Amino acid sequence: MAKDPVRVLVTGAAGQIGYALVPMIARGVMLGADQPVILHMLDIPPAAEALNGVKMELVDAAFPLLKGVVATTDAVEACTGVNVAVMVGGFPRKEGMERKDVMSKNVSIYKSQASALEKHAAPNCKVLVVANPANTNALILKEFAPSIPEKNITCLTRLDHNRALGQISERLSVQVSDVKNVIIWGNHSSSQYPDVNHATVATPAGDKPVRELVADDAWLNSEFISTVQQRGAAIIKARKLSSALSAASSACDHIRDWVLGTPEGTFVSMGVYSDGSYNVPAGLIYSFPVTCKNGEWSIVQGLPIDEFSRKKLDLTAEELSEEKALAYSCLT
Ligand code: NDP
C-alpha cells in the first residue's frame, strides 16, 4: 500500500542551499525512495518570484514522489501541517555588520518562525536548523516554541561530520563509506572540535582505529582539525559562493538518519539540546555523537575524553554560552 505523503518545509527555499535541497527531497534522498512528499517552500517577499521559478522547475522535473508543492511568503501557510521543517532561511552577515546586528536579525526571524511552527506544524514535527548561527538559532526556536518537545529541535553539524569523514578517506586513500564514528563536538563554527579518537576504518582484517592507520598524531591534532573547521571558507574562496550541494546533502543525511535510524555500531553528529552529558553545560544546543532509533536520537554515552579533547569541548561550549547571552541580550 502506498504511504501517505510527508510534508516537508524548507525555509529560504529560493536561496542556493534551498535550490540544491528541494530536488533531493523530491527524489527521496531525505526520506526514502518509497516515501511520497509534499514540499512547503517559504521565502521572503523579495524572493517570491524566484521561489515561484523553483516551483515551476519542480513541476517540470516531474518527480514521481512529489505529491504537491506549496510556495509561499506566508509563514503560517508554510508551516501548516508540516512533519519535517528544514530551516535554511536566515539573515546573512554583510560587510560592515556587527555580530550583534546579525544575531539580532536572526533572533527575531527564529522567534517568529518558532511561533508559526508551534501553532501550525503537525504534532511531533522534527526541526533541523541550517541557517547560521545554527546552534543559537535552534536554541531561540526551542525557547519560543515551548510545546514542541526539545528532542525535536536540532541543528546541522552533519556537514562538518561528513567533511571529517572525507578528509580521513582522502588521507588514507580508502572509501569514505568505510570510515565511521568521527565526532563533531560543539558549535557549527570554527570553534567546533572534529574528533577522530573513536573513529574507525573497515579493513579486510576488521575495523581499525583511524589514529593507528593515519599514524601521524601531529597531523590529526592540528592540520586535520583546522581543515575541517575552515572548509567552508575554503569553498567560498574556490567557488566564490558558499557551499550548497554539500550542505543540502548533509541536511538530507541528518533527517534520514533521524527518521530511519543509524546503522548498528555507527554514530553521527547532531546539534541537540544538551542534558549535561560529557559535562557540557545543560541548556545549550551542542553537537554530540548520537545514534538514532525509532525516530529518536540518543547521545552516545561513556566515550573516554582525553585532556586535549576536554579543552576543545570546553572552548566551543564557552563560545556557545557567549552566543546564547548575546542572543538573549538581543531579545530584551
Ligand atoms: P544559502 O542558501 O547559501 O545559506 C542559507 C543559510 O544557511 C545561511 O544562514 C548560511 O550561513 C547557512 N549555512 C549553514 N551551514 C552552511 C554551510 N555549510 N554552507 C553554507 N551555508 C550554510 O543562502 P542564500 O542567501 O542563497 O539563501 C538564503 C535564503 O534565505 C534566501 O532565499 C533569502 O531570501 C532567505 N532569507 C529569509 C529570511 C527570513 O526568513 N526572514 C531573511 C533573510 C533571507 P552563512 O550566512 O553563514 O553562510
Per-residue confidence at 128, pLDDT binned at 50, 70, 90? Answer: very high
Give the count of domains, the chain: 2
Mean pLDDT of 292-299: 98
Q: Are residues 148 and 69 in the same domain?
A: yes
Instruction: Give 102's pLDDT tier (boundaries 50, 70, 90).
Output: confident
Q: How far apart are alpha carbons 184 and 164 in whole angstroms?
A: 8
- Assigned domain for 279 exists: yes
Indicate whether 312 belongs to any domain. yes
The CATH number linked to 70 is 3.40.50.720
The answer to whether residue 98 sits within a structural domain is yes
Q: Does the Cβ of 16 fall within 6 Å of ligand 1?
A: yes
Percent of the chain with pLDDT over 90: 95
State if residue 232 touches ligand 1 by the CB under 6 angstroms criterion: yes
Q: What is the rounded CA–CA span in Å between residue 105 and residue 227? A: 30
Does any domain span residue 228? yes
- Tell how strand 200-203 and strand 179-180 pair up: antiparallel
Kindly state the average pLDDT of the residues 234-245: 94
Domain identity same for 149 and 175: no
Q: Is the dihedral of CA 306, 308, 312, 314 positive or negative?
A: positive
Q: Which atom of ligand 1 is nearest to the CA of 50?
A: 32
Q: Per-residue pLDDT for 315 more than 90? A: yes
Taking CA atoms only, the protein residue closest to ligand 1 atom 6 is 131
Q: Which of 126, 155, 184 is the last residue of a domain?
A: 155
Pocket test for ligand 1, best of 130, 141, 189, 250 (most atoms within 8 A of CB): 130
Question: Which atom of ligand 1 lies closest to the CA of 241?
Answer: 3
Question: How many Å lie between the centroid of ligand 1 and the Cα of residue 12?
Answer: 7
Q: Does ligand 1 have an atom closer than 6 angstroms to the CB of 298?
A: no
Residue nearest to atom 19 of ligand 1 (CA): 243
Domain membership of residue 17 (yes or no) is: yes
For residue 252, tell me if it sits in a domain: yes
Residues 34, 285: Cα–Cα separation, whole Å: 32
Check whether residue 107 and residue 171 sit in a common domain: no
Q: Which of 88, 128, 246 to mutate to test the pocket of ligand 1 (most atoms within 8 A of CB)?
A: 88
Residue bearing the CA closest to ligand 1, atom 29: 12
pLDDT higher at 329 or 93 = 329
233 band by pLDDT with thresholds 50, 70 and 90? very high
Q: Does residue 132 line the site of ligand 1, with CB under 6 A?
A: yes
Of 139, 155, 171, which residue constitutes the final position of a domain? Answer: 155
189 and 109 housed in the same domain: no
Binding-site residue positions for substrate: 93, 99, 132, 163
Question: Does the pLDDT at position 331 exceed 90?
Answer: no
Tell me whether residue 198 is one of the annotated catalytic residues: no
- 1 is a domain residue: no
pLDDT in tens, 171-210: 999 999 999 999 999 999 999 999 999 999 999 999 999 9
Domain that holds residue 171: 157-328
Tell me the pLDDT band of 262, cut-offs 50, 70 and 90. Answer: very high
Residue 106 CB less than 6 A away from ligand 1:
no
Q: Please give the pLDDT value at position 101.
A: 84
Percent of the chain at pLDDT > 70 equals 100
pLDDT at residue 94 is higher than 90? no
Task: Specify burial of residue 110 (Cβ count, 10 A radius: 0-12, 13-18, 19+).
Answer: buried
133 Cβ below 6 A of ligand 1? no
**Domain match, 169 and 34 both:** no
Taking every pair of Cα atoms in the chain, the longest distance, rounded to a whole number of angstroms, is 59
151 and 40 within one domain: yes
* First vs last C-alpha separation in the chain: 52
In this structure, are 28 and 141 located in the same domain?
A: yes
Boundary (domain end) residue, out of 125, 155, 185: 155
Look at residue 2 in the predicted model and tell me its pLDDT.
85
- Read off the pLDDT of each residue in 257-262 and give the average, rounded to a whole number: 98
Same domain, 246 and 310: yes
Which has more pLDDT, 92 or 325?
325
Q: Does 313 lie in the same domain as 288?
A: yes
Q: 40 by DSSP, 3-state: which?
A: strand
Annotated binding site: 12-18, 43, 93, 99, 106, 130-132, 163
Instruction: Name the residue at shortest CA distance from atom 13 of ligand 1.
Output: 131
